[in-house]
């Protein structure tokens, strides 16, 4: 891959949004960041118009482009989902499998491994959300698929040989030592769809639990004498939390409380996206239920939220508006925070030398103009 200088009026570096910088890309990585005036004259150069940000990383993507991962746990299905989300600035994602039979989990893991081996752009690993959840907080999940996290399941969940694995469990239902066994095998473990007490979470922290899937949703709430999962999450300085900032899943005041408690670096924007994102297909089926995406919400017939119709570019815009933060902080919640959560901060999630050249260019309205994955460019048609 030939070297290229990308010069933009605004570039988000670890120091903040800086003006008139040049990002040198070589071999799929960021070789240097310097003032545009110092750009090597013998290097091919592109002058961009807009803000150059680290590419967005989405840890919870159920579907996109008309495809639901549970229905199409294949390389082609994964590629279609990744392609649909790339146009909204997502340069790295975890295809997310919601609760299903273990045979489907096995196929999904194999498909993600093959997709990474083939170099499908943007695939970082897999998120397995269930079936080790609590029926009392099932949300849209099919509780008939739920099962115990036993030794065989631990082996399956830790079987991906390429990329990262994120697993969401109800920690109160996990046998002692199960979280530790997963973490020792390289799996990132998060709590979600859980009736856990504050004390349950503390025990899981001791075993290596490090995150919370869609904070506030489908978990025990903060009470004065029972802090619950939310209280444990907000108190912890080390753990990370995913947030669905679509204006439907979480009230803006609760979002701002999380920001005040955790700081932007520990909050990762996630979409929880369904097949409707990047598609005209606004009605689909999920586990036998008819789901309708309308006015930014995905709901079943009884009104239960079923994932979202949210893309990452909109999540960033919403974060600016609803949390009262600037673009730099919102963009870090979509890049640095998820990279850190998945222990990939040394590989991606920021614009600095040595990291992968996964980038997104946005205009003044926050709309995506162009993305780069490993230095390979793709413009967004408008």
**Catalytic site residues?**
272
| Residues 202, 235 contacting (CB under 8 angstroms) | no
State how far the Cα of 167 lies from the Cα of 156, in Å rounded to an integer. Answer: 11
- The partner residues of 21 in beta bridges, in order of sequence, read 8, 35
State how far the Cα of 55 lies from the Cα of 28, in Å rounded to an integer. Answer: 13
Cβ burial, residue 254 (10 Å; 0-12/13-18/19+): middle
Q: Which secondary structure element, helix H or strand E, spans residue 254, and what is its range? A: helix 252-262
**Quick check: helix, strand or coil at residue 178?**
helix
In sequence order, what E strands does 44-124 have? 45-47, 51-54, 56-61, 63-64, 67-68, 90-98
| Residues 58, 85 contacting (CB under 8 angstroms) | yes
State how far the Cα of 188 lies from the Cα of 166, in Å rounded to an integer. Answer: 5
State how far the Cα of 160 lies from the Cα of 150, in Å rounded to an integer. Answer: 18
- Contact partners, residue 371, CB within 8 Å, separation at least 6: 55, 86, 87, 89, 91, 359, 360, 361, 377, 378, 380
């Amino acid at each position: 891959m030939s070297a290229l200088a990308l010069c933009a009026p605004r570039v988000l570096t670890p120091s903040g949004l800086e003006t008139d910088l040049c990002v040198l890309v070589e071999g799929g990585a960021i070789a240097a960041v310097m003032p545009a005036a110092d750009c090597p004259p013998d290097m091919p150069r592109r002058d961009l118009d807009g803000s150059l940000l680290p590419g967005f990383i989405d840890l919870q993507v159920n579907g996109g482009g008309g495809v639901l991962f549970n229905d199409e746990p294949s390389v082609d299905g994964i590629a279609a989902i990744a392609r649909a989300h790339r146009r909204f600035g997502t340069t790295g994602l975890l295809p997310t499998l919601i609760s299903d039979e273990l045979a489907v989990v096995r196929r999904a893991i194999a498909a993600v491994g093959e997709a990474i081996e083939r170099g499908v752009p943007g695939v970082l690993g897999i998120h397995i959300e269930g079936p080790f959840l609590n029926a009392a907080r099932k949300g849209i999940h099919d509780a008939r698929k739920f099962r115990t996290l036993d030794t065989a399941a631990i082996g399956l969940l830790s079987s991906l040989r390429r990329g990262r694995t994120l697993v969401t469990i109800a920690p109160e239902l996990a046998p002692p030592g199960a979280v530790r066994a997963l973490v020792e095998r390289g799996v990132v473990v998060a709590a979600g769809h859980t009736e856990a007490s504050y004390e349950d979470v503390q025990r899981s922290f001791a075993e290596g639990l490090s995150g919370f899937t869609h904070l506030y949703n489908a978990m025990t709430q903060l009470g004065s004498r029972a802090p619950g999962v939310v209280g444990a999450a907000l108190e912890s300085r080390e753990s990370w939390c995913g947030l669905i900032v679509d204006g439907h899943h979480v009230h803006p005041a609760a979002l701002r409380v999380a920001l005040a408690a955790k700081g932007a670096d520990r909050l990762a924007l996630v979409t929880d996206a369904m097949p409707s994102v990047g598609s005209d297909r606004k009605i689909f089926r999920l586990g036998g239920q008819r789901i309708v995406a309308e006015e930014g919400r995905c709901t079943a017939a009884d009104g239960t939220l079923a994932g979202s119709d949210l893309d990452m570019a909109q999540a960033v815009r919403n974060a600016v508006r609803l949390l009262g933060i600037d673009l730099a902080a919102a963009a870090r919640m979509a890049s640095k925070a998820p990279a850190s959560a998945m222990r990939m901060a040394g590989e991606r999630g920021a614009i600095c030398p040595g990291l992968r050249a996964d980038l997104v260019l946005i205009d003044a309205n926050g709309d995506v103009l162009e993305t780069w994955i490993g230095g390979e460019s793709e413009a967004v048609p408008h």
